[in-house]
Amino acid sequence: MEIDAERVTAIVQRLVRAPSFQTERFEADPDVQRFIAETVCEQARALGLTSEQDAMGDLVMRIGRRDADRRVIVFAYAMTHAVARMTDPLDGRLLDRLPSDGDAPGIGGPWIRGRGAAEQKGTLGAVLEAAAALKRREDALAGELIVCVSAAGETGRHDTARAVMEFLGEPRADFAIVAIASENAICLANKGRVDAVITVRGRASHSSTPWAGLDAIAGARQVMARLDDVPLPGEHPHLGRPTLTVTSIRSLPDATHTVQDEVRIVVDRRLLPGQDPAAAFDDIVHAVGTLPPFEVSVSLGPVNLPAEVTRTDAVVQRLEEGLRAAGRTPIHSYSHGCVDAGFFVQRGIPAVMFGAGDPRLWHTDDEVVAVPDVVTCARVLAHATFRHLASEAGLSQDRPS
């Protein structure tokens, strides 16, 4: 399958230069929606790809035979981390040397710099180039490739994946590739996550007369102590034990010299493959309990499901073939993070995470992706999906390039 290294480099640069930062509006953010409807659609059209959008603005491209028994889903992302402290986040420059000292990540440069380059957009560019390679060989396909560009990427929930599948009519698929940075390693398993939002309510008063109020911060301290009693059962040979982490504490009202009447605590409970998010949430509710005279409530926040596949699953074998064809030795990995692989696994569709970029560079002030990694990713995705979906006649004519 032919991959144009200069073209895919230019695609990633254009993607990085278009803003799609995470804001409080998440998938509905105008820049995220514009990035998909304009920037990604423009790149897709230039590559000869046709697309349509679902109700959440997610982009869907279909290549091959819709009536076929064989089907592969490649699920990529649009939204990036917020700017944070990164200067020139829409840089998109091609760097011969990295801006920071130390060893270069990955296999060497040049590198493309910008927010999301290492996390979502380097891989998204590779996905578009790989899809175009299959489009050029569409007459040789006996199956269908569905490429999705999700408006999510930093939301921590499965809303867009659910919207895409409903838009497509819940199609059966042989496997899914969740296209996000993994250093081009095949991620066989990832933890899931359930967020719990704990609210402690007291009574406000002036801080000069604290006895007239009921300090919600004092109640929150007791809740925090109780979180130490939340059970964290299980252990995975590669992912270790589940974890529980407080990720946010906020008190209200936001006013000076005031006994606070409300504290909100967000808890991140990581799940091992096979663990039930509802049971994990119930454990938190039980540990927090009641706390008179405070009013305490626990509500369910975003949920990401865990995932795991075996090395004998077709998605793993096809990606291994693609890596070997690209001259790379297959490497397998396991992730403590989570995106949408668990969503597909729950639906009976084996799914892995795979993509260009070093996860250690996510959300950093000098986020970059190595161009050779992007090119390799495109070659692997094109080879893996074509080999799975091509007719026997198409396979007989296929020559790696």
Q: What is the pLDDT of residues 363-398, one digit of tens each?
A: 999 999 999 999 999 999 999 999 999 988 778 767
Encoded tokens for 40: 């990604």
Residue 17 has pLDDT above 70, yes or no: yes
For residues 291-297, give the mean pLDDT: 98
What is the structure's pLDDT at 106?
Answer: 52
Q: What is the mean pLDDT of the chain?
A: 95
Minimum mean pLDDT range among 76-80, 99-103, 115-119: 99-103
Beta bridge partners of 299: 197
More confident residue, 153 or 171: 171
Q: Give CA–CA dist 224/355, Å, rounded.
A: 38
Domain architecture of the chain: domains with CATH: 5-190+306-397 (3.40.630.10), 193-303 (3.30.70.360)
For residues 343-347, give the mean pLDDT: 97
What is the structure's pLDDT at 299?
Answer: 98
pLDDT confidence of 58, banded at 50, 70, 90? Answer: very high
pLDDT confidence of 101, banded at 50, 70, 90? Answer: low
Closest CA to 357 of 126, 165, 135: 126
Q: CB neighbours of 257 closer than 8 A, spacing ≥ 6?
A: 206, 207, 208
User: What digits encode the pLDDT tens for the residues 173-209?
Assistant: 999 999 999 999 999 999 999 999 999 999 999 999 9
Residue 401 has pLDDT above 70, yes or no: no
Residue with tokens 């889903």: 73
Q: Which helix (H) or strand (E) holds 354?
A: strand 351-354
What is the structure's pLDDT at 156?
Answer: 85
Instruction: Judge if the upstream peptide bond of residue 350 is cis by omega within 30 degrees of 0.
Output: no
User: What digits encode the pLDDT tens for the residues 208-261?
Assistant: 999 999 999 999 999 999 999 999 999 999 999 999 999 999 999 999 999 999
pLDDT confidence of 311, banded at 50, 70, 90? Answer: very high
Residue 167 has pLDDT above 90, yes or no: yes
What is the structure's pLDDT at 366?
Answer: 93
Residue 265 has pLDDT above 90, yes or no: yes
Residue 8 has pLDDT above 50, yes or no: yes
What is the structure's pLDDT at 155?
Answer: 85
pTM for the model: 0.94
Q: Give CA–CA dist 308/103, Å, rounded.
A: 32
Encoded tokens for 130: 């790989």
Cβ(37)–Cβ(13) below 8 Å: no
Closest CA to 368 of 179, 100, 19, 187: 100
What is the structure's pLDDT at 346?
Answer: 96
What is the structure's pLDDT at 400?
Answer: 43
pLDDT confidence of 75, banded at 50, 70, 90? Answer: very high
What is the structure's pLDDT at 399?
Answer: 54
| Coil vs helix vs strand at 60 | strand
Residue 105 has pLDDT above 80, yes or no: no
| Coil vs helix vs strand at 41 | helix
Q: CB neighbours of 296 closer than 8 A, spacing ≥ 6?
A: 198, 199, 200, 201, 219, 223, 288, 289, 290
